[in-house]
């Protein structure tokens, strides 16, 4: 199939349609609105439903209902809107309802701004809502991956009965690149647990209330055994020139591509640098990081935040080598700026 | 070989369309391409810019840059902001209708043309951007001319044929100007 | 032998956790009887609130969901948009529906969401221990209005049926009570009509059901029924507020 020039937000929306998603419940917020607008046009063409909810809170609860009914369902938002959805996400995670949530993120805290940021890492990967739960969090870095990760997200969601969050910088949603449009997904998961009406079977119950202490703990143990399985099987990262890397840079999303370019420049200047790009922010690819510890003398985490993922890098490195951080907020630094930052760290660490 | 082109001007000058046409043409030639519109702090009616990255075979790493190889400058504030950042040896094309100073750089291939006057003269005042596009492509050959002309039909899909014709005419005006004067 | 009492098929028969004299058991039964009579048990999905009704999934013998506090109409919307031919009902109390879930119920009504809402108004938060609800009457003492609800401090009780009936999307809105056998019979007719409205695809339906909370009111079950008649019905008049189908 020919390549099509698409915006990131459109590729994400079309990816959802290709994955068999026919229901989107959302609320307008910049810079996510284009995903909603695309699906508002697109879903009726495939007998789907786009519904603009009265609030972020209502939207995520419509997803709860739609998912319980057995459908592939999606919602999207940006930073402050995701904050509002957290109650619902906690319920969905507990009830083990598959769904996909897109966070076309923006800078915070508070109303912040619509400038590029990755400062929703904590609220995406570390819970955000109440209770012990995890989301699978995917971080695309190209318009093609916006589409491909939509397909992957729906598959992981159904396979593990868990909400999956796609986290993209706003700029990735705005930029255009040629996309290889994928074939429609026809594989469907059986959902015998869905509340579709109990015709010729015992009633199904979707519930998150556990008043007995033993039952509550059992429930958490059950969820965490599932999370352990996901962590064992789904950690993903792209490794660039890490085989002999003394300075290992960790970066994700669109930013990672800028870092990749900087790394090639830095290599040309004699610094043995490499890049680890997490594709899954949760489960965090700590094993990929640990693989580099044979050659790595220094880690550098680069984020468009004040330093969030760097905590997971530090946990993975576990004190064996120093972990440095370089961050900006509201701008995606240029390759030249990142090159300067990497060189500065390399020189301080005696690697240049 | 990866080339990055910056297009900059006022909002409403069709700056983003220039980038989009370049992107579309590069894609139809089977090359890798990435288009990033200015985003964020810019206000409506303020400055607008975009960066197009075109690569022949390799995957595009960074779609962003501080130092574009070429720059298409449609107004004075954009020249002031970006002139220093263009890579030595790169191409700088300036719309003299809205730039009232000479460029300072001596290590660039600089070409100038009065876009707005030219657009008025052919009765297409809103298609000045297409004149810039035509002139740039004719001068550099960065993408194939026919790829762009073919793209008009697709990009303007659903628009009036008069609109397509007007833009095509403006584009060819730019091509002719570059061939005759540069 | 003639059967004079049996558990409706749409109830599991599990023993209630509700307090003696609480209206929930009566209302559950009325809803279940309607489901039996309309033969919709197997195509019904019910949604429980947060509040005393949170455990309703233990009692209704159909597919059930438990929603976050106040969000049942949004959950119902998601279900109904996917399962267009199924019967969706929410079961919500006054704190759930008229306070924290006010936005969800208003917009479900305005969209004409084809779901049936059973709104249990007993003027207090029951499960959390008798705090003031949006429907608590003026002067009524609760644990968070210990000097009685004061219009200058807490404002006035909200009349949900009157508020939602004018919405174009609302097809059937009624207020009933369960304090006497006659009223309970009327309540059942309203519940049935709400289901029928949904089955006919006419739009949103809501039945506000005035109920009792003897425990938190500090009254005996019999006194509570009388208190409902004396205090609630004058402020919350019974009747059909909207019936688009005009049956």
Residue with tokens 């304090």: C179
Q: How far is CA C156 from CA C134, C149, C233, in A?
A: 8, 8, 16
User: Is A34 found in the same domain as A166?
Assistant: yes
| CATH number, domain containing residue B130 | 3.40.920.10
The larger pLDDT score, comparing residue A296 to residue B150, is at A296
Residue B44 has pLDDT above 90, yes or no: no
Mean pLDDT of the region A288-298:
98
CB C86 to CB A70 under 8 A? no
Give the start-to-end residue ranges of the domains of chain C: 24-243
A256's enclosing H/E stretch is helix A253-268
In the numeric block, which tokens belong to residue A234? 């789904």
Closest C-alpha to C194, from C102, C87, C94, C107: C87
Q: Please state, for a pLDDT cut of 90, what percent of chain B lies above it.
A: 76
Mean pLDDT of the region C177-197:
98
Q: Please state, for a pLDDT cut of 90, what percent of chain A lies above it.
A: 93
B109 exposure class (CB count in 10 Å sphere: 0-12, 13-18, 19+): middle
Residue B42 has pLDDT above 80, yes or no: no
Q: Is the domain C24-243 a CATH 3.40.50.970 member?
A: yes
User: Is A216 found in the same domain as A141?
Assistant: yes
Angle at C17 between CA C14 and CA C198, to 5 degrees: 70
Angle at A103 between CA B35 and CA A288, to 5 degrees: 85
Residue A255 has pLDDT above 60, yes or no: yes
User: Is A340 found in the same domain as A285?
Assistant: yes
Residue with tokens 């063409």: A45
Contacts of B37 (CB under 8 A, 6+ apart): A174, A175, B16, B19, B48, B49, B50
In chain A, which residues have their Cβ closer than 8 Å to the Cβ of C13?
none
Residue A176 has pLDDT above 90, yes or no: yes
Contact between residue A139 and residue A282 where contact means Cβ atoms under 8 Å apart: no
Mean pLDDT of the region B156-179:
91
Our count of domains for chain A comes to 2
Mean pLDDT of chain C: 97
| CATH number, domain containing residue A341 | 3.40.50.920
Asked whether residue A195 is assigned to any structural domain, the reply reads no
User: Is A243 found in the same domain as A230?
Assistant: no
Question: Does the beta carbon of B55 lie under 8 angstroms from any beta carbon of chain A?
Answer: no
Residue from C72, C82, C88 to probe the interface with A (highest A Cβ count within 10 Å): C82
pLDDT digits (tens, 9 = 90+) for A29-43: 988 899 999 999 999
Residue A319 region, left (φ>0) first, then alpha (ψ -120 to 50), else beta?
A: left
User: Is A95 found in the same domain as A46?
Assistant: yes
pLDDT at C246: 82
Question: Does the beta carbon of A178 lie under 8 angstroms from any beta carbon of chain B?
Answer: yes
Question: Does the beta carbon of B39 lie under 8 angstroms from any beta carbon of chain A?
Answer: yes
pLDDT digits (tens, 9 = 90+) for A106-153: 888 999 888 889 999 999 999 889 999 999 999 999 999 999 999 999
pLDDT at B39: 52
pLDDT at A262: 96
Asked whether residue A137 is assigned to any structural domain, the reply reads yes
Axis crossing angle, helix A253-268 with helix A335-348, rounded to the nearest 10: 60
Asked whether residue A270 is assigned to any structural domain, the reply reads yes
Our count of domains for chain B comes to 1
User: Is A20 found in the same domain as A165?
Assistant: yes
Can you tell me the distance from the alpha carbon of B129 to that of B18, in angstroms, rounded to the nearest whole number? 6
Question: Searching chain A, which residue's CA lies closest to the CA of residue B20?
Answer: A176
Residue B147 has pLDDT above 60, yes or no: yes
Asked whether residue A94 is assigned to any structural domain, the reply reads yes
CB B66 to CB A261 under 8 A? no
Phi then psi for residue B48, to 5 deg, are: -135, 145
Q: Which of B144-158, B162-176, C56-70 has the lowest mean pLDDT?
A: B144-158
Mean pLDDT of the region C141-145:
96
Asked whether residue A197 is assigned to any structural domain, the reply reads no
Phi then psi for residue C85, to 5 deg, are: -100, 10
Contact between residue A177 and residue A213 where contact means Cβ atoms under 8 Å apart: no
In the numeric block, which tokens belong to residue B52? 């197009």
pLDDT at B149: 87
Q: State the DSSP code for C88.
A: E
pLDDT at B155: 79
Closest C-alpha to A102, from A177, A205, A187, A31: A31
Q: How far is CA B22 from CA A281, B51, B87, B145, B152, in A?
A: 35, 10, 19, 10, 11
Can you tell me the distance from the alpha carbon of B76 to that of C198, in angstroms, rounded to the nearest whole number? 64
Can you tell me the distance from the alpha carbon of C25 to that of C23, in angstroms, rounded to the nearest whole number? 6
Residue A245 region, left (φ>0) first, then alpha (ψ -120 to 50), else beta?
A: beta
pLDDT digits (tens, 9 = 90+) for A192-236: 999 999 999 999 999 999 999 899 999 999 999 999 999 999 999
CB A69 to CB C104 under 8 A? no
Closest C-alpha to A332, from A261, A249, A253, A255: A255
Residue B40 — pLDDT band, cuts 50, 70, 90? very low
Q: How far is CA A261 from CA A80, A264, A265, C55, in A?
A: 32, 5, 7, 57
Can you tell me the distance from the alpha carbon of B33 to that of B25, in angstroms, rounded to the nearest whole number? 9
Cα(first)–Cα(last) distance of chain A, in Å?
Answer: 46
A83 exposure class (CB count in 10 Å sphere: 0-12, 13-18, 19+): middle
pLDDT digits (tens, 9 = 90+) for A53-65: 999 999 999 999 9
Give residue A259's domain range: 237-348
Residue A1 — pLDDT band, cuts 50, 70, 90? low
Residue C35 has pLDDT above 50, yes or no: yes
Q: Please state, for a pLDDT cut of 70, what percent of chain B lies above it.
A: 96
User: Is A250 found in the same domain as A176?
Assistant: no
Mean pLDDT of the region B132-142:
97
CB B34 to CB A332 under 8 A? no
Residue C84 has pLDDT above 90, yes or no: yes
CA C121 from centroid of its chain's CA atoms? 7
Mean pLDDT of the region C157-174:
98
Mean pLDDT of the region B79-90:
96
Touching chains C and A? (3+ Cβ pairs < 8 A): yes
pLDDT digits (tens, 9 = 90+) for C109-135: 999 999 999 999 999 999 999 999 999
Give residue B15's domain range: 2-181
CB B61 to CB A261 under 8 A? yes
pTM of the shown model: 0.95
Question: Does the beta carbon of B85 lie under 8 angstroms from any beta carbon of chain A?
Answer: no
């Amino acid at each position: 199939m020919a390549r099509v020039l698409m915006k990131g937000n459109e590729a994400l929306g079309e990816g959802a349609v290709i994955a068999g998603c026919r229901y989107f419940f959302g609320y307008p917020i910049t810079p996510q609105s284009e995903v909603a607008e695309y699906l508002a046009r697109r879903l009726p063409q495939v007998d789907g439903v786009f519904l603009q909810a009265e609030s972020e809170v209502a939207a995520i609860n419509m997803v709860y209902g739609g998912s319980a009914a057995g459908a592939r369902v999606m919602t999207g938002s940006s930073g402050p809107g995701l904050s509002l959805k957290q109650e619902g996400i906690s319920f969905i995670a507990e009830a083990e309802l598959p769904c996909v949530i897109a966070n076309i993120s923006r800078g915070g805290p508070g109303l912040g701004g619509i400038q590029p940021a990755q400062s929703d890492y904590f609220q995406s990967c570390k819970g955000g809502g109440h209770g012990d739960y995890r989301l699978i969090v995917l971080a695309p870095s190209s318009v093609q991956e916006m589409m491909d990760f939509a397909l992957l997200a729906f598959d992981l969601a159904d396979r593990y009965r868990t909400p999956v969050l796609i986290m993209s910088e706003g700029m990735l949603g705005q930029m255009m690149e040629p996309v290889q449009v994928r074939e429609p997904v026809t594989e469907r998961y059986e959902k015998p647990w869905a509340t579709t009406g109990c015709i010729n079977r015992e009633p199904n119950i979707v519930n998150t209330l556990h008043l007995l202490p033993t039952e509550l703990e059992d429930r958490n143990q059950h969820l965490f055994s599932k999370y352990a399985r996901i962590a064992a099987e789904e950690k993903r990262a792209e490794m660039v020139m890490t085989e002999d890397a003394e300075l290992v840079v960790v970066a994700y999303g669109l930013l990672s591509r800028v870092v990749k370019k900087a790394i090639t420049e830095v290599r040309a200047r004699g610094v043995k640098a490499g890049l680890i790009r997490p594709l899954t922010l949760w489960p965090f690819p700590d094993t990929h990081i640990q693989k580099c510890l044979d050659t790595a003398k220094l880690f550098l985490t680069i984020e468009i935040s004040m330093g969030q993922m760097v905590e997971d890098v530090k946990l993975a490195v576990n004190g064996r080598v120093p972990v440095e951080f370089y961050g900006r907020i509201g701008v995606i630094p240029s390759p030249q700026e990142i090159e300067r930052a990497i060189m500065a760290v390399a020189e301080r660490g005696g690697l240049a | 070989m990866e080339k990055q082109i910056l297009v900059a001007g006022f909002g409403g000058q069709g700056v983003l369309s220039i980038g989009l046409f370049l992107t579309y043409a590069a894609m139809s030639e089977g090359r890798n391409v990435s288009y990033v519109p200015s985003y964020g702090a810019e206000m409506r009616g303020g400055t607008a810019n975009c960066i197009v990255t075109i690569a022949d075979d390799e995957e595009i790493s960074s779609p962003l840059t501080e130092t574009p190889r070429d720059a298409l400058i449609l107004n004075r504030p954009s020249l002031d902001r970006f002139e220093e950042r263009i890579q030595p040896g790169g191409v700088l094309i300036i719309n003299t209708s809205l730039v009232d100073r000479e460029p300072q750089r001596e290590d660039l291939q600089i070409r100038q043309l009065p876009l707005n006057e030219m657009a008025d003269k052919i009765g297409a005042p809103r298609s000045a951007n297409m004149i810039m596009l035509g002139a740039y492509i004719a001068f550099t050959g960065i993408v194939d001319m026919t790829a762009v002309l073919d793209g008009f039909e697709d990009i303007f899909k659903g628009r009036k044929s008069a609109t397509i014709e007007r833009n095509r005419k403006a584009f060819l005006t730019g091509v002719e100007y570059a061939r005759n004067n540069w | 032998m003639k059967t004079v009492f049996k558990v409706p098929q749409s109830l599991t028969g599990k023993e209630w956790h509700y307090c003696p004299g609480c209206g929930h058991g009566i209302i559950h039964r009325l809803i279940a009887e309607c489901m039996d009579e309309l033969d919709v048990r197997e195509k019904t999905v019910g949604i429980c609130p947060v509040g005393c009704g949170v455990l309703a999934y233990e009692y209704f013998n159909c597919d059930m969901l438990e929603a976050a506090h106040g969000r049942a109409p949004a959950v119902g919307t998601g279900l109904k948009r996917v399962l267009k031919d199924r019967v969706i009902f929410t079961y919500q109390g006054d704190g759930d529906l008229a306070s924290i879930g006010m936005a969800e119920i208003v917009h479900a009504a305005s969209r004409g969401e084809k779901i049936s809402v059973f709104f249990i108004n007993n003027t207090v938060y029951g499960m959390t221990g008798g705090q003031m609800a949006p429907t608590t009457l003026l002067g009524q003492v609760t644990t968070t209005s210990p000097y009685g609800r004061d219009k200058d401090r807490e404002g006035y009780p909200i009349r949900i049926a009157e508020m939602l009936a004018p919405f174009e999307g609302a097809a059937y809105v009624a207020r009933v009570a369960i304090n006497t056998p006659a009223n309970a019979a009327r309540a059942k007719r309203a519940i049935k009509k709400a289901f029928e409205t949904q089955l006919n695809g006419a739009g949103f339906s809501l039945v506000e059901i005035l109920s009792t909370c003897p425990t938190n009111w500090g009254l005996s079950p019999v006194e509570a029924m009388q208190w409902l008649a004396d205090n609630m019905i004058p402020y919350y008049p019974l009747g059909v507020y909207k019936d688009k189908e005009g049956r």
